[in-house]
Structures are given as structure tokens and as C-alpha cells.
Amino acid sequence: MASQRDIRRRIQSSRNIKQITRAMQFVAASKLKRAQEATLAARPYAEKLDEVLADAAIVLSGEDHPLLVRRETGKRLLVLVTTDRGLAGALNTNTIRFAAQQIAETTGETTTVTVGRKGRDAMRRSRMPIEAHFDGFRERPTFADVLPLARLITDGYLDETFGRVDIIYSHFVSTLVQRPTIDELLPIVPREDTAGIPGNQFIFEPNPGAVLEQLLPRYVATRLFQAALETTASFFSSQMVAMKNATENAEELIEDLTLEYNKVRQSNITREMIEIASGAQAG
């Protein structure tokens, strides 16, 4: 049985851990609010951009822009978005496991671009080819943060290095739910729901190619930016829940240790009283 001193040390250590996890919980909660607001505010823009491409898809084809061309050759590129930091429950593990499943189901050659240290380390351990690595997005991702990644992906598709580009990230559903998601980035496939949209209703100035030259690269960057926002909100949400659970576990451990401490203390007092009584009788 542990001594009173050892139990007191364990209780104090648990209290220190509880203070740290509680502080991290509150910090994550405050950052989650900002990240959630940014994520929800950006979704309508991405959805409208999808609608514009859906409208244009009726009169446009792969001949109008190479980013619309579907190829049978070239490697499949997976853009894996994770975080640099841990202490966020199973968030990164679930995303990496989902990516590994996608890789296993791919028959052709696959390569990766990793965003975030957790994903990079996992791909290195599995010996997956890594074309490039980017640091995880900051607490407040900006559109400029994704432009180098968007340029790398777009250039690789235009020079036919990649035949298909998919992005895997954690989609923010709610505070308690973050779902690993895969979206096809390239070739750009407008949504199929075009019911009620008459064909040939648009006039492109100066021409369809010039319009798409500006629209499609921005579409790729917008999808990447949305994934960055979703991952950031998912991270703070998962971290807040994980730290809340850790705080509750620390509280339970403190209660158990306190009970054990009282039992040991009572046992020591009883033993001392018996020793005193025995000594008095012997005298």
C-alpha cells in the first residue's frame, strides 16, 4: 500500500494536471467560437461558386479550360489536411485512417501533399510518396495561406503530372461531430443538379476561356480555404471536448486518491493507537 506522502504527491500532481486541462479547455472554447463563425460565414460563398459552375457547365466543356479535362493518365494526388498539434482526441487519427483507406482502394499510382505535421509523419511512417509539405494552418487561416498550395496543385494538373486531385480533411459538423471528408478538386466537376436551368443562356465576355481562366483557379483556392477553415474549427472543437474529458478524469482520480489517502490515514491512526495501548499494558 502506498504511503500517505506518495498519495499526497499524486493528488497534487492530479490537481496540477486538472488546472492545465481546464485552462486548455477554456482557451479552445474561446478559439472555437471564432473558428466556427469563420467556417459558417465562408460556406455560402463556396456554395454560390458551385452554383455558378453548375450554370456554366451547360454551355462549357473541357475544351474551354484544361482544369475541366478529365484524364485517364497521371498520378492521383491526395491533399491530406491535418494539424501540427495534438491533444485533440481522435481528430487526426480518424482523418489519417480515412486517408489510408482511400490509398488502399486506389489501383493506380498515388502520391500525397501533406498539410500539418501529423499527416506528414503518418505518411512517412507508411512510406507514402510526399510531393510537398506545408505547415498546418494558423488559428485564423487566411485566403493568402492557401494560395501557394493552390498554385502547386493547379500547375501539377496543368502539366499533366497529376490526373486527379482529391483533398481529405475533417468536416466540421457540430461541436461533438467532426467527420473525415474527401472532395474531388481536379478535374473540376460542377454539381449535377442543373434542373430548371436552360442551356445557352449566357454570353461570356470576352470569351468563355478568359472567364474560366479567372474563375477556376480561384475555385480551387476557395475549396482549399474552406477545408482549412473546417479543419481549424474541427481541431478546436475536438480539443475542447478532449480537455473537458481529461479534466473530468482528473477530478475522478483526485476523488479516488483522496478516499485512498483517508483509508491509509485511518489505518495508520488505528495502528498507532493499538501500539500506544499495547505499550501502556506492558508498562
What is the arithmetic mean of pLDDT over 103-117?
91
* Residues 182-223: tens digit of each pLDDT: 999 888 776 555 554 445 556 667 766 677 777 888 889 999
Domain positions in the chain are: 24-240
Residue 94 has pLDDT above 60, yes or no: yes
Spatial contact of 121 and 141, defined as CB atoms under 8 Å apart: no
Q: Indicate the pLDDT class of residue 69, thresholds 50, 70 and 90.
A: confident
In this prediction, residue 129 carries a pLDDT of 93
- Global pTM value: 0.84
Looking at domain 24-240, its CATH superfamily turns out to be ATP synthase, F1 complex, gamma subunit (3.40.1380.10)
User: Quick one: pLDDT at residue 63?
Assistant: 66
Nearest to 146 by CA among 232, 246, 66: 232
Residue 204's pLDDT is what?
66
Percent of the chain clearing pLDDT 70 (strictly above)? 88
What pLDDT is stored for residue 282 in this prediction?
Answer: 67
Is the pLDDT higher at 139 or at 197? 139
